[in-house]
Amino acid sequence: MNSRPHSPLSGPHVVVFAMFPGIDALDVTGPAEVFAMTNLVLGAGHPGPARGYEVHLAGERRGPVETSAGVRLHVEELFCEQGTIDTLVVPGRIRIGADGPEPHVDPAVVAWLREAGPAAGRVASVCVGAQVTAAAGLLDGHRATTHWATAERFAADHPAVEVDPDPIFVRSGRMWTSAGITSSMDLALALVAEDHGDEVALEVARIMVMYLQRPGGQSQFSVPLAHPAGSRADLRELRRWIGEHLDADLSVPALAARMSMSERHFARVFRAETGSTPGAYVERMRLEAARRLLERTSRLAPDIARACGFGSVESLHRVFRDRLDTSPGEYRSRFRTAA
């Protein structure tokens, strides 16, 4: 393989995209635009490290690669020609099959990732590119996310990966994964923040008119959208009622009594309709409500805990720590969107 003439501490930060036919165009062009804008910001004399990005498109063969959008991207370098890689980006290709969205796993990319992935500074997978990275064995033992519609299949195909279908993106050591296609730019912005600090990332986001308040801890979608609507009108009404009464007693006995069912029958029916236990569903609804209050209001933690039904600040902290690996205060300081 060719060796690029730079050390890890000098010269450009080399970003290589693993290209293959049918690739989702925005998985490539979105992050590439973020890296290009960062170079402009750094070149304008912004304080801090001035090591800009050098983007390469590598593939099994040279020439035009048609994307899912019909736009052709030109590959000028081969996989075998890549030397030092600081960031290896694995885009995805999502298809709509008879059973819904499904990922395409390109065997040539998988083979190259097995060779190049362990030596790369970090590996970032976009959308269903996570399935490609996992097929190469790079995500074993790591927490990862992907497009929500393919998360269940991802978890089944790769039991050694801890799949979390909720976040916009996830970092696990040097492995990064992101959700749906547009989240590729959120992921790229997070990589810029890691390399050059939040101030540079914020400036890039402002110039690109990006919504910076979509870091990894935020959800791909609201809790109700994350669960099937179900066929039972009474349970749909119950779920609506739960969302409006988060500070009420939402235990299984209380909810079963409201539905005039035995606790066992209610729990079984609820799970069949939603794919979740009542307790897990209620906790996620309360967590989502707490997130919104932390992002959009100045209400204090004890007030938020009461309003969302956590009962105590300790319970609020526990759920944030267990589900988001952060505290309410840290979450607010990073995701706050209202004065």
Q: Which of 51-55, 129-133, 212-216, 286-290 has the highest mean pLDDT?
A: 129-133
User: Does 143 lie in the same domain as 111?
Assistant: yes
pLDDT the model gives residue 199:
80
User: Does 113 lie in the same domain as 64?
Assistant: yes
pLDDT the model gives residue 5:
42
Q: Where does the pLDDT of residue 221 fall: very low under 50, low under 70, confident under 90, or very high at 90 and above?
A: very low
User: Does 191 lie in the same domain as 227?
Assistant: no
Does any domain span residue 4? Answer: no
Q: What residues contact residue 66 under an 8 Å CB cut-off, 6+ apart?
A: 21, 22, 72
> Which letter does DSSP use for residue 47 in this model?
S
Q: Which amino acid is at 283?
A: E
User: Does 232 lie in the same domain as 95?
Assistant: no
Q: How many domains in the chain?
A: 2
Domain extent for 61: 13-207
pLDDT the model gives residue 191:
92
What's CA 30's distance to the chain center, in Å?
A: 15
Tens digits of residue pLDDT in 45-55: 655 556 799 99
Rounded to the nearest integer, the mean pLDDT of the chain is 86
User: Does 128 lie in the same domain as 30?
Assistant: yes
User: Does 100 lie in the same domain as 28?
Assistant: yes
CATH of the domain at 299: 1.10.10.60
Mean pLDDT of 217-230: 48
Tens digits of residue pLDDT in 46-96: 555 567 999 999 999 999 999 988 999 999 999 999 999 999 999 999 888
Q: What is the residue whose two structure tokens read 């319970």? A: 315
Q: What is the residue whose two structure tokens read 């526990």? A: 318
User: Does 154 lie in the same domain as 261?
Assistant: no
User: Does 22 lie in the same domain as 102?
Assistant: yes
Q: In the predicted model, is pLDDT for residue 224 greater than 60?
A: no
pLDDT the model gives residue 216:
46
